[in-house]
Amino acid sequence: RTGKKQVTSCQASNNGHEIIPREVHGICDTIVGVLGRMLCQVASQMAIKVMVLDPLENCPASAVAYKHVVGSFDDGATVEDFAKRCGVLTVEIEHVDVATLEKLEQQGVDCQPKASTIRIIQDKYLQKVHFSQHGTPLPDFMQIDDLDSAKRAGELFGYPLMIKSRRLAYDGHGNAVAHSEEEISSSVSVLGGYDRGLYVEKWAPFKKELAVIVARGRDNNISCYPVVETIHKDNICHIVKAPADVSWKIRRLAADVAQKAVSSLEGAGVFAVESFLTKDGQILLNEVAPRPHNSGHHTIESCLTSQYEQHLRAVLGLPLGDPSMKVPAAIMYNLLGEEELAFFLLSFYRINSGELGFSLAHQFIGRALNISGASIHWYDKPEMRKQPRWAI
Ligand code: ATP
Ligand code: MG
Ligand code: MG
């Protein structure tokens, strides 16, 4: 995955946690990226061998993985070959070749979570249909195939109207907002046209966005992390406040909705449930990720069991850990791109383009680490991508 962001994680304490090393003979595949890297980091503490499949030779996980197989996770033959070498197969991104995963499951390969879950999640429209059939509260939604159906949706749901791509969406790439009927066509073009497979959602005038990481073990045991507030910037999760500053009742409702949503899916692992808190105190589900999530980075330092360790425990059938926070509160700040980094440092550092990545990064790290209890996670991503922006 080539999302372009760096992340820092800061909280009130950075106590290390003690893990007894043990031999686990499951070889686990996590497919690409930073989440995979963090999974590998915790796996190495427990001597769990994580083999990763990623097309990039210097992918974030490669330095810490037990083994890195360079190859495409979109390619059925490559995934099949790779799966044969694994004890358990898991993912850190839902945009994978699910037909191959289904085939592998039929051949007895142990995929966690199950391919059926990945199939539902990777198509956001199917996801909405699935959760509405399971009684989960969510914004009204409707599939659109052409301008007429989009206009009908606008009449039904009003404006602004959220238009979403069914597939391959992340960090808001796949979302566009039409503020009026006249804007529908341009918003649809931004997304690549109706043929890409689109649907619309009624605008959710949320007071806050909340997220809950829910873990489910192979024995169907479920465990919920504290509800957090997520603040997005240009559609990317920018700040996470843990726990969310909402009433006990709202936390309970958000956790309840999240737990029920996850119970309707198959397989073990951690799942992130994103939701909207409306002004009248309702919780509406936004989407579910069947994997560790950026709203759970803070758990590395702030919880008794990190989401990554929990994911490993879940998919390998080990006992789930305690998800409670070990500090009163934590905040995660996601540093997005060099522009923002430069904003932090420009006052005292003269940018030299040749040294930009290295020097800015290390100046920043040096500054952040002056804060007691702050931890930093530097992704070292090679490039930054421009984000979609909208205003209402
Ligand atoms: P992610 O990186 O979380 O996978 P994504 O590309 O799947 O992001 P969404 O989570 O669907 O995108 O939406 C991104 C953001 O857009 C949400 O966090 C929220 O701020 C806003 N948003 C999404 N749907 C709606 C809606 N129906 N009404 C209002 N705002 C919305
Ligand atoms: Mg998403
Ligand atoms: Mg989202």
Under DSSP, the state recorded for 227 is P
Q: How far is the centre of ligand 2, averaged over its atoms, from the C-alpha of 310 (Å)?
A: 21
C-alpha of residue 85 to centroid of ligand 3, in Å: 32
Give the residue among 204, 211, 274, 201 at the shortest CA–CA distance from 241.
211
Query: Which are the contacts of 332, defined by CB distance < 8 A and separation ≥ 6?
Result: 7, 8, 9, 10, 11, 239, 240, 242, 294, 297, 298
Residue with the smallest CA separation from ligand 1 atom 4 is 170
ipTM of the complex: 0.99
CB 52 within 8 A of CB 65: yes
Concatenated DSSP letters for 125-137?
Answer: HHHHHHHHHTT--
> What is d(CA 276, CA 242) in angstroms, rounded to the nearest whole number?
16
- Cα 72–Cα 217–Cα 379 angle in degrees, nearest 5: 45
User: Which residues are CB-neighbours of 318 under 8 A, at least 6 positions away?
Assistant: 24, 312
97-124 confidence digits (pLDDT tens):
999 999 999 999 999 999 999 999 999 9
Nearest CA to ligand 1 atom 19: 235
Q: Is the dihedral of CA 279, 282, 286, 287 positive or negative?
A: positive
The dihedral over CA atoms of 192, 196, 197, 198, expressed in degrees to the nearest 10, equals: -10
Residue 235 near ligand 1, beta carbon < 6 Å: yes
Q: What is the pLDDT of residue 368?
A: 79
Residue with tokens 């037909």: 99
Say if ligand 1 is within 6 A of residue 275 CB: no
Inter-residue contact 113 to 172 (CB < 8 Å) = no
Ligand 2 mean position to 172 CA, how many Å? 7
Cβ-defined contacts of 252-256 (< 8 Å, 24+): 253/281, 253/283, 254/210, 254/212, 254/227, 254/283, 255/212, 255/224, 255/227
Ligand 1 contacts CB of residue 333 (under 6 A)? no
DSSP alpha helix (H) spans, the chain: 33-45, 76-83, 98-106, 115-122, 124-133, 147-157, 184-190, 248-263, 299-302, 307-316, 337-345, 356-368
What ligand is nearest to the CA atom of residue 200? Answer: 1
Weakly modelled stretches of the chain, pLDDT under 70: 1-32, 337-361, 380-392
| Most informative mutation of 162, 208, 228 for ligand 1 (most atoms within 8 A of CB) | 162
Q: Is the CB of 204 under 6 A from ligand 1?
A: yes
pLDDT given for residue 60 in this prediction: 84
pLDDT tens-digit map of 316-361:
999 999 999 999 999 998 877 656 665 555 444 444 444 445 556 6
Is the Cβ–Cβ distance between 93 and 32 less than 8 Å?
A: yes
- Ligand 1 midpoint to CA 338 (Å): 23
The residue whose C-alpha atom lies closest to atom 7 belonging to ligand 1 is 170
Which residue puts its alpha carbon closest to atom 23 of ligand 1?
286
| Distance from residue 66's CA to the centre of ligand 1 (Å) | 34
pLDDT in tens, 273-303: 999 999 999 999 999 999 999 999 999 999 9
Distances (CA, A) of 70 to 31, 32, 35, 381: 11, 10, 17, 18
Q: Is the CB of 170 under 6 A from ligand 1?
A: yes
